[in-house]
Amino acid sequence: MSEDIKKTISELHIYEKKLLKELEANPEATPSQIAESTGMDIKSVMSAAGSLASKDIIEMHKDVQKIYSLTSDGLEYAEHGLPERRILEVLAEKKEISMKDLSKEAGIDKKEAGIALGWLRQKNWAQIDQGVLNITELGKEFADKAGVDEKVLDYLKANADGVKLFTDDLLDGFKKLTGRKNILNVKKETSHSFKILPKGEEILKIGFTIKEQATQLTHEHLKDGEWKSLEYRPYDINAEAPLVFAGKKHPLREIIDEIREIFLNMGFVEDNGEYVESAFWNFDSLFQPQDHAAREMQDTFYLKNPLTCDLPDDALVKLTAETHETGADTGSIGWQYDWSEDIARQSVLRTHTTGISTKHLFEHEPPIKMFSVGRVFRRETFDYKHLPEFHQVEGLVCGEGISYQNLLGTLKEFYKKLGFEVRFRPAYFPYTYLSTESEIYLEEKGSWIELGGAGMFRPEVLKPLGINQPALAFGMGIERLAMIRYDVEDIRMLYKSDIKWLREVPIDRGVRL
């Protein structure tokens, strides 16, 4: 006996041994027959067969057969005739029927009449001439003779339990019926058969004993001494374990929570704001002129309900208007146009979270360290890197001695905690100066990727809010960060609820330093 065969026999489960012995006695045995003779259930039989097949001891064959039977409509046609047959019966008597009287004469509805006309022409039983349906010579021949499809209907009616195969003389009729809707039911019947392979023959030749095996040692076994005579089932430590998909947060939610935790640990407080905001807070408070391109319809969602929002404190509105028009006392000349309260009252879905920062500055006294994470909305075209709705994170620090160096240091620390080394390059934003963009280097792409913008709020932003101390601000899109973290090429994947991707994507918080 070879060592491999000896080892295989020792590792066979009792169900595998029972199945192999049964196949030795009855090579033609079906799974249900094996289950009945061995006392195993079908599931255990198939599991044992699969295991033996994976070890090249037996071979499994799967046969799938289709069983055809009549639907309720098909049975109705078998008893009362197909729609074209019912029209043909009238035609055989009257020779012709006006098309407008077709449904009434044949006793069928208009939908069935339309179907029947198509089959009458296909079978060449009738033809239409100037609004009149006439019987053909072939139609006269079949007036008292069943077509091949009608023979199949009668055959299926007589065999109500279903038919697996059709004789050659019925095949053409069967094909015709399969081209029609709601006539045939199709049910699949699967059967399995087994064949012992040479390795199995060798195992049976050597022989083995079938003895019930215990899968665990119980208190009763120890108490009555039965453990001494029990045969314990061996454990295969190399067996594949089933995949378990534990519940977890959505990857986007995970990264949002990570960002919140970083800011909270850095001493920031959170503010949220509202989705629906006035154009005043979304644009005007940020010193964006009312004719700025970012306000145009292609960038911003303007609302009909509510059509307008209330403006804040009159003094703030007045100072903001003066700053836009002349620069007021900010050292600027402003935008040199007539500022409009009506435009400032317009309701919008916020296009960024920066409006939360200006409102927070107006409502709180420095020193301030605030962040916000929330959804923003823009009229973007759906593609692999743009969505009309996405998440943005915003940060704000205001107080005596705050400088551009503090801005760069804060950003470095933030990105470091996310696991990135960051560099900065000059940029332009209407409401900050100095301004910068943050970039990280991706080795796999061999390029620098921009993640967000930042800068020092301009006096034109701070002065109307009553802030006389410097303030730094920064923001970035979270989806872009998530795409980098989870190696996603298409931003839409983050919202597709693809269960396979959600199960497989690792929830990794990166390098936390």
The one-letter amino acid code at 510 reads G
Residue 79 known to bind ligand? no
Residue 317, annotated as binding a ligand:
no
Query: How far apart, in whole angstroms, are the C-alpha atoms of residue 16 and residue 48?
Result: 5
Whether residue 283 is annotated as binding a ligand: the answer is: no
Quickly tell me which residue has 């990105």 as its tokens: 415
Rounded to whole angstroms, the Cα distance separating 203 from 226 reads 30
**Does residue 392 have a known ligand-binding role?**
yes
130 annotated ligand binder = no
Indicate the burial class of 301 (C-beta count within 10 angstroms; 0-12, 13-18, 19 or more): middle
3-state DSSP assignment of residue 210: coil
* DSSP-H helix ranges across 336-477: 341-344, 354-363, 404-418, 459-462
* Consecutive H or E run containing 449: strand 447-457
Among 283, 204, 222, which Cα is nearest to 1's?
204
Tell me the CA distances in angstroms from 436 to 277, 278, 372, 404, 458, one per residue in order: 27, 27, 20, 10, 14
Query: Identity (one letter) of the amino acid at 227?
Result: W
Nearest to 426 by CA among 417, 418, 438, 435: 435
Q: 126-129 and 132-135: which strand pairing?
A: antiparallel
Token pair recorded at residue 442: 């991706």
Are 476 and 246 spatial neighbours (Cβ–Cβ below 8 Å)?
no
Which 8-state DSSP code applies to residue 275? S
**Amino acid identity at 274:** E
| Residue 393 is assigned to a ligand binding site | yes
Residues 6+ apart with CB under 8 A from 130: none
Residue listed under structure tokens 């015709």: 176
Asked if residues 255 and 481 have their Cβ atoms less than 8 Å apart, the reply is yes
330 Cβ neighbours under 8 A, 6+ residues apart: 323, 458, 459, 460, 463
How many CA atoms lie less than 13 Å away from 144 in the CB half-sphere?
1
Pairing verdict, β 447-457 and 432-442: antiparallel
Which residues are known binding-site members for L-phenylalanine?
354, 392-394, 431, 457
Which positions make up the binding site?
354, 392-394, 431, 457
